[in-house]
Amino acid sequence: MGIPDSAIDTGKRIFGMKTYIDNLIPNCDRCFAISGLHGKTKERGHYFFCAKSKKLERVGPYKTYHEALRYLVLTKGCDTCSLNKFKLKKAYLPFLNDKVREEMQSIYGSGQEVTITLSPLRYFVEARNHLDVNFKSRFGIRLFQAMADDSVAVVDLIEPCKNQRDFSLKVQALAGIIDRINEKELREKISRKESIKGSINVLEQFLKEYAPNYPRHIISNLKNLMSLRNKMYPAHVNAAEIITILRNFGIAKYPLDDWEKGITKIIQLCGNSLADFVGFLQSC
């Protein structure tokens, strides 16, 4: 897949690349795309730009047009146009997710194990990064602490998930990436400092006090992930309790028939929670 029918060629070129506007974007003519081979870097890709706060902000390069557009919608919506409204983004992102999935399948093939995991994983990681930036902008503190082994956890998640052991290790790695929450600074700002245990519970209390209208599902998926990690720890494996938690992710039984599809679904749902969290913060 290349440029969709919704894109309109402006006739202008930037760094030798064609420039487009897109009628699908409910913008104020301040967002545009450039696609092709970069004249200076010789890198082929798709970029989206948004003129915000009187400066040009860029996402990209991405491998596909709709992938670049999705991250524009997710992170760089203009404050002065409807692109940045939470309800609109909540409706628009599923459409873009479907388009990105179609594009990835056309590039890599629908049968590739790593492809099935890699696209939702990239979505999850970037949504987490965007959340960290937006959380600091809104509340003045970083939500996550940077850890040296973050990249190791991501590499572990990229590997194919072929069996129960792989699934358990990936759940541990995914939960570990989320559990980097800056609990100390969050705890200092909440009223019930001593009685609340666990990083996600501390974050939930923080939101109740400082952003009480937050969408509840952005926390519930993360709680389910942490519970799943705890129940799958080798010393505490309990199939009945694991099944109860997996049902919250739309997975009906354990062991799973398809381990790869199961971990992909969990990554996608947690990524959606983080992306919706970003949208909520931008709408405040």
Tokens found for residue 245: 């938690």
Residues 56 and 117 in one domain: no
**What is the tally of structural domains in the chain?**
2
Inform me whether the pLDDT recorded for 95 exceeds 80.
no
The answer to whether 96 touches 70, Cβ cutoff 8 Å, is yes
- 90 belongs to a structural domain: no
Residues 63 and 122 in one domain: no
For residue 275, CA distances in Å to 24, 120, 124, 130, 279 come to 20, 12, 8, 8, 6
- 61 belongs to a structural domain: yes
Give residue 171's identity as a one-letter amino acid code.
V
- 230 belongs to a structural domain: yes
- 44 belongs to a structural domain: yes
Residues 170 and 263 in one domain: yes
* Mean of pLDDT values over 95-101: 76
Residues 167 and 258 in one domain: yes
Strand, coil or helix: 18: strand
- 191 belongs to a structural domain: yes
* Of 145 and 259, more confident: 259
Among 64, 82, 100, give the residue marking a domain's end. Answer: 82
31-37 and 17-22 as β-strands: parallel, antiparallel, unpaired? antiparallel
Residues 77 and 34 in one domain: yes
Q: In the prediction, which pLDDT does 53 show?
A: 55
- 9 belongs to a structural domain: yes
Distance CA 245, CA 222 (A): 11
Residues 70 and 139 in one domain: no
Beta bridge partners of 186: none
Condensed to tens digits (0 to 9), the pLDDT of residues 147-202 reads 655 666 777 787 889 999 999 989 998 998 999 999 999 999 998 777 888 899 99
Distance CA 48, CA 158 (A): 26
Residues 49 and 126 in one domain: no
Residues 146 and 272 in one domain: yes
Residues 166 and 267 in one domain: yes
- 199 belongs to a structural domain: yes
Could you tell me the strand order of the sheet in which 17-22 lies? Answer: 7-14, 17-22, 31-37, 44-52, 55-62
Residues 9 and 128 in one domain: no
Distance CA 70, CA 48 (A): 9
pLDDT class of 270 with cuts at 50, 70, 90? very high
Residues 53 and 117 in one domain: no
Tokens 């064609």 label which residue?
18
Q: Phi/psi of residue 205, each to 5°? A: -65, -40
pTM for the complete prediction? 0.61
Residues 134 and 42 in one domain: no
* Mean of pLDDT values over 237-253: 88
- 100 belongs to a structural domain: no
Range of the domain at 30: 1-82
